[in-house]
Amino acid sequence: MPLSRREIVQLASAIEERRRALAEEIRADLARMRAGPYTQAAGATPDSGDEAVADLLSDLGEAETSRDVAELRALEAAHRRLADGGYGVCIDCGGDVGVERLRAEPAAPRCIDCQRRHEKTYRA
């Protein structure tokens, strides 16, 4: 069953909250790791708008693959799917991801079957 409007609103707010908290955390980590341009930014209240998260991710670059950054990328992708109406639709099979799964993991891009297949493929 596709997500109801109400479910989408709830999940979207969970994504937003997590996305902002995580962006903050990553910024603070960066500030600790690098004495430099980021040190100043850490004291200020960062803009948590869309561009700010996108800028942060682009600053981090492709090389940064910590768990937090991977999660933020997943949240950012979910945020985009919410905007373009693809949220809750499995990116592999086009089926429903399922509301229970999304409640547990709001950024989940795949249904459980495709996720298992994906993990098998990439772990091998």
Least distance CB 122 / Zn ion (angstroms): 15
- Nearer Cβ to Zn ion (56/109): 109
- Nearer Cβ to Zn ion (15/111): 111
| Residues 42-66 as b or e (16 or more Cβ within 10 Å = b) | eeeebeeeeeebeebbeebeeeeee
Single out the segment in contact with Zn ion by CB under 5 A; choices: 30-38, 43-51, 81-89, 95-103.
Answer: 95-103
Residue 81: how many other CB atoms lie within 10 Å: 18
Q: Site size for Zn ion, by CB under 5 A?
A: 6
Q: Is 56 in the site for Zn ion (CB under 5 A)?
A: no
The closest alpha carbon to 25, from 67, 59, 56, 68, belongs to 68
Instruction: Give dist(CA 47, CA 49) in Å, integer.
Output: 6
- Whether 100 contacts 67, CB under 8 Å: no
Single out the segment in contact with Zn ion by CB under 5 A; choices: 8-16, 23-31, 101-109, 111-119.
Answer: 111-119
Q: Is 82 in the site for Zn ion (CB under 5 A)?
A: no
Residues that bind Zn ion (CB under 5 A): 90, 92-93, 95, 111, 114
